[in-house]
Structure 1
Amino acid sequence: MTDSVSRRTVLTTGLAVVAGSALPVRAAAASPTSPASPTSPFAPGAGKAKPLVDDHTWLSHADWAHGHGEGTRPASGHRAGVTIKRPLGTFDYKDPHTGKTSTWEYATWTSPTHKLRVPSTEAIASWNADVPAGTWIQIELRGTYSDATQTPWYVMGRWAAGDGDIRRTSVDDQTDGKSSIWTDTFSIDTPASGLRLVSYRLRLTLYRKPGSHAGPTVWRLGAMGSDIPDRFEVPASKPGVASGHELKVPRYSQSIHHGQYPEYDNGGEAWCSPTSSQMIIEYWGRKPTKKDLAWVNPDYADPQVCHAARFTYDYQYEGCGNWPFNAAYAATYHEMQGVITRLGSLSDAETLVRAGIPLITSQSFLESELDGAGYGTSGHLMTVIGFTKDGDIIANDPASPSDDAVRHVYKRRQWENIWLRTKRKKADGTTGSGTGGVCYLYFPTRLTHAQRRALEAVGIRP
């Protein structure tokens, strides 16, 4: 792998940082000549702007049947999936974080090739699965470049819902000299060269203890490819359909957990991502049971936030900010789904909020770039819950001193720019990266017609 700064390094250097930020250092997002537009970039007919994002999902019984299964079968029931039918054999896995070697039965499912409508500089996989104790899954991506060569099979994650069998983990040091994996993101090493990812396949490997009849079931699998232009500024959008609309989302502070369970990313000061995730999970009426929370110190407030931190923790990244791991955690709750995507403007966020769907956004900024925040950060997650009558953002900001202080109103223009840009100036004058509109979307399987339409409008298959 090239000598680049890791997510972990980013969190401990530079400007005043909210610890636990979920922003990785990435390769440049795209060619600097790519056009920027406030138009929603998803559907082919969305204005004349070049599409910037392609989000593709395997979800239905037909989707699973059209893939190539070895030892797997489509799972029946109202929620289609893929599961183990007859294991191909056994595999000895040495967990790099425990040193323990265990034997597992396994089977695989490989997706058809998806040709990207947007030849991409980055790709992020998401998955939703039932992974009971004694099972785990591995997700891999293999792509074809615009020069007709192929990538290796890159590991995008090794996921377990619990932590008693294996340690869930990303995998470092994956590169072929043209692209690399940065924690959870496939990235072209030199976007200015013009090289792009033009298609990909995803491969699932499902593992279970030998002789077991239980196995993991994957319900949703997909990836978001994107080609976001290098930009320090983005066009401003006008207030729209969600002006004056606010959702009643629970408010949780990460700060009140300072010093709690430091084995999970240094304690609550670093828990912006799981804290934001828990807010939206509970907005949809889901939460951990008393049994789930029995391990948490009863003196701690909001024990479900501790729970979210533990079960999103990436043992390689050594943090709770792995984006797909948070989405996968959300989907462990009854009938929930979670995806990672990019949006094109605050107009897209308004479409979701107006339909009753809050979102989690990732942004980085100097203190002077976001009035009222009181801090600067190399990357931080917040929950967008509404818009004022003037179109400003109402956000639940977990970097607040108490639960009661979590609700904030931030200026629309400032927020939109720090969220959607891919380049920024750091306090020392050097150039840093931005997320280019990354967000988490969590939603149940049963949706209203308006909610389905809103998700489809921003490129997400409900």
Structure 2
Amino acid sequence: MTSSTPRRTVLAAALAAAAGTAAVPAAPASAAPASAAPATTLIRDGAGALPTGVAPGLVDNHFWTSYTDWRCGSSDGTRAVAGRRPGLVIATPAGRLDYADPHTGTTSTWEYASWTSPVHTSTVPATEVIASWNADTPPGTWIQIELRGTYNDASATPWFVMGRWAAGDGDIKRTSVDDQSDGRSSIWTDTFSVDDTTSGLRLDAYQLRLTLYRTPGTDRTPTVWRLGAMASDIPDRFTVPASAPGLARELAVPRYSQNTHVGQYPEYDNGGEAWCSPTSSQMIVEYWGRRPSAEELAWVNPAFADPQVCHAARFTFDHQYEGCGNWPFNAAYAATYPDMNAVVTRLRSLTELETLIRAGIPAITSQSFRKEELTGAGYGTSGHLMTVIGFTADGDVIANDPASPSNEAVRRIYNRREWENIWLRTKRYDANGKVRSGTGGVCYIFWPVKPAPTQRRVLQSLGLL
């Protein structure tokens, strides 16, 4: 196993009995870009081609990022700021809130302001929604992200908390919120999920609400640059159709092994043996030329190699989930580096992933499998993140797999057909023959605020810009 705690995906819920109604936490009152690394490329189907032959109607991405976006919706004490990277900040606080941090036992008073997005009608009536955000939270500030939706029978969900987040951990402990359900849908760590997908119930539309908090009496403020979500309706499937290879290219991505950190900082999910997600995130952060400073790494034991991996684990850790595998928290971590965007999404095919690689954009993918299902991996897992960095001339997947014994062993080549199926399926059999979940193509994508023109076109084609 590559994680000490199985990833609690929403797909696991779809295979279990429908969850009972649980209390929903109360809402607040009122409540310089680096170019891609050098790579050798052989492109079989055209350098500028966008994905073809991709299954439509499975994924809808929508994000608020522009000055105009931030001026829409409903504001209670927030203000849109213009500039090269428009954002949302506190203008005049709307009120105060006493927040009892469940992970410290401390209650503190915070000023807050909020912003509620316009209603977004998804192009995909959805069974699942995953939010993403990119923000700066100076010391003494934090943010909360919530979602409220409308079902296809015109009924509405309550406001669900999708995350309480800060870049640091000195003010609050960043956290997901368990036990949220309206009896029809539930929040599973970081994902909204319809409990019974066979019922025909779908989420047609949603709003997101941002609440920005700061220490009373200060002029500090979080700045949120990006807020949005991926809505999807991936059909139940044990296998997916095979795709034809279309690209041979390998990106020069740094290689880090999570297993060189076994036993280090066990307060973060028992140590490095469970750090596949932050290790993968750090590889991509550094691919784009960003890394923590010596000052930021000063807390790490100097005897530990690759201290930036320890840093990534600490600053992606979800104190409720008790792990570093919260998908949006990893994206938010990547976006704390200068001029970086990051989202959680789903890709519909390996063809779309090839299109990203062609443009010089690696991706972090989530998959689960038995040992015999992925030749050469040498392990089985109920949930694991790895970084796809390219494709061979035969179309096989080149991955930086952090579940390797050393940095030198991280680069792996995996059989295209095997890898494609374990990543894109939504159901699988475990070693005992029981039906378990698969992620259905979940991945993280990070890129600079000012991408190259080809990168911009590809990101736009996926609905990420």
Q: State the distance in 2 between where 1:18 and 1:59 align.
A: 34
Q: State the distance in 2 between where 1:332 and 1:50 align.
A: 33
Q: Is the 8 A contact 2:3 2:275 kept in 1?
A: no
Q: State the distance in 2 between where 1:75 and 1:21 align.
A: 40
Q: Is the 8 A contact 2:54 2:351 kept in 1?
A: no
What is the aligned partner in structure 1 of residue 32 from structure 2?
none
Q: State the distance in 1 between where 2:198 and 2:396 align.
A: 35
CA RMSD of aligned residues (A): 1.3
What is the aligned partner in structure 2 of residue 40 from structure 1?
none
What is the aligned partner in structure 1 of residue 18 from structure 2?
none
Gaps of 5+ in 1: 1-15, 30-44
Deviation at 1:99, TM superposition (A): 0.6
User: Helix, strand or coil: the match of 2:105?
Assistant: coil
Describe the superposition over 1:30-86 as per-residue Cα deviations: whole angstroms up to 9, x where unpaired.
xxxxxxxxxxxxxxx976954100000000000001121110010122100110000
What is the aligned partner in structure 2 of residue 9 from structure 1?
none
Q: 1:301 to 1:47 in 2, by over 3 A?
A: closer
Deviation at 1:214, TM superposition (A): 1.2
Gaps of 5+ in 2: 16-50
Deviation at 1:21, TM superposition (A): 5.3
Q: Is the 8 A contact 2:8 2:189 kept in 1?
A: no
Deviation at 1:89, TM superposition (A): 1.3
Q: Is the 8 A contact 2:54 2:348 kept in 1?
A: no
Aligned length: 429
Q: 1:49 to 1:342 in 2, by over 3 A?
A: closer
Query: Which residue of the other structure, out of 182, 186, 190, is the alignment partner of 2:188?
Result: 182
Q: State the distance in 2 between where 1:338 and 1:48 align.
A: 23
What is the aligned partner in structure 1 of residue 410 from structure 2?
406
User: Helix, strand or coil: the match of 1:181?
Assistant: strand
Q: State the distance in 1 between where 2:227 and 2:144 align.
A: 12
Q: Is the 8 A contact 1:21 1:272 kept in 2?
A: no
- Does 2:141 align with 1:135? yes
Deviation at 1:458, TM superposition (A): 2.2
AA aligned to 2:124 is V
What is the aligned partner in structure 1 of residue 14 from structure 2?
28
User: Helix, strand or coil: the match of 2:178?
Assistant: coil
Q: State the distance in 1 between where 2:387 and 2:154 align.
A: 40
- Does 2:307 align with 1:322? no
Q: State the distance in 1 between where 2:193 and 2:316 align.
A: 22
- Does 2:191 align with 1:202? no
Deviation at 1:17, TM superposition (A): 5.2
Q: Is the 8 A contact 1:55 1:225 kept in 2?
A: yes
Deviation at 1:199, TM superposition (A): 0.2
User: Helix, strand or coil: the match of 1:312?
Assistant: coil
What is the aligned partner in structure 2 of residue 34 from structure 1?
none
Which aligned segments of 4 or more residues in structure 1 are displaced greater than 3 angstroms? 16-23, 45-50
What is the aligned partner in structure 2 of residue 6 from structure 1?
none
Describe the superposition over 1:251-289 as per-residue Cα deviations: whole angstroms up to 9, x where unpaired.
000000000000000000000000000000000000000
Of all paired residues, the percent bearing the same amino acid is 69
Q: State the distance in 1 between where 2:459 and 2:306 align.
A: 30
Q: Is the 8 A contact 1:139 1:158 kept in 2?
A: yes
What is the aligned partner in structure 2 of residue 11 from structure 1?
none
Q: State the distance in 2 between where 1:403 and 1:17 align.
A: 16
What is the aligned partner in structure 2 of residue 268 from structure 1?
272
Q: Is the 8 A contact 1:75 1:81 kept in 2?
A: yes
What is the aligned partner in structure 2 of residue 222 from structure 1?
228
What is the aligned partner in structure 1 of residue 113 from structure 2?
107
Describe the superposition over 1:186-237 as per-residue Cα deviations: whole angstroms up to 9, x where unpaired.
0000010000000000000000000111100100000000000000000111
Q: State the distance in 1 between where 2:147 and 2:9 align.
A: 19
Q: State the distance in 2 between where 1:109 and 1:299 align.
A: 45
Deviation at 1:129, TM superposition (A): 0.2
Aligned pairs for 1:15-414 (under 5 A) are 16=1, 18-19=3-4, 22=7, 24=9, 26=11, 27-28=13-14, 49-240=55-246, 242-243=247-248, 245-414=249-418
Q: State the distance in 2 between where 1:352 and 1:46 align.
A: 13
Q: Is the 8 A contact 1:81 1:217 kept in 2?
A: yes
Q: State the distance in 2 between where 1:277 and 1:286 align.
A: 11
Q: State the distance in 2 between where 1:207 and 1:76 align.
A: 21
AA aligned to 2:158 is P
User: Helix, strand or coil: the match of 2:85?
Assistant: coil
Q: State the distance in 2 between where 1:24 and 1:144 align.
A: 22
Q: Is the 8 A contact 2:313 2:324 kept in 1?
A: yes
